[in-house]
Amino acid sequence: MTDTWLVVGLGNPGPEYSGNRHNVGQMVLDALASRMGGRFAAHKGARAAVLEGRLWVGGPRAVLAKPLTYMNVSGGPTSSLAKYYGIEPGHVVAVHDELDIPFNTVRLKLGGGEGGHNGLRDISKALGTKDYLRVRVGVGRPPGRMDAADFVLRDFASTEKKELPFLLDEAADAVEMLARDGLAAAQQKFHPAKA
């Protein structure tokens, strides 16, 4: 078993999707890549763009990965990279959009259901377990009777775009804290205490 972390940012390929709510996981990886001072490059063995490095100076080794497949088939690239780098599911972090938590909110969890998220469902199937970590980035609920699939394939609203850099930074902080201090400590920081 390796100490390396595999951090997978979920999204859809192509410029037409880059600003969509569904691509917030890949936006978080761009924030992490900026902190690491590196660039993504195509990985020969998996359909993904990857960046290898350290999450912070002296920190653990990490492989940041953006699958080059559509969201619903994120499992193949995730599983291929985990095998290639010898990374166990407990060190796989999926960063993804989450409808069930408000915009501007970050939550973390290990395992559990996929909540109708087909990208997570495909990763669970490909890894053969649901026991991998998730950094859930809140994108809010669709307004009125709008279909959830239509909502996540839209760009963030102009008011949300002003807050988006802060949300991406917070989610990047959550990934780093997860690797540095573990899930319980990260949840304590990012999950507000219930009154």
Instruction: Report, as residue numbers or ranges, the catalytic residues.
Output: 22
Name residue 109's beta-bridge partners. 134
Q: What is the DSSP letter of 72?
A: G
Phi, psi of 27 (to 5 degrees): -65, -40
Q: Which residue(s) pair with 62 in the sheet?
A: 5, 53
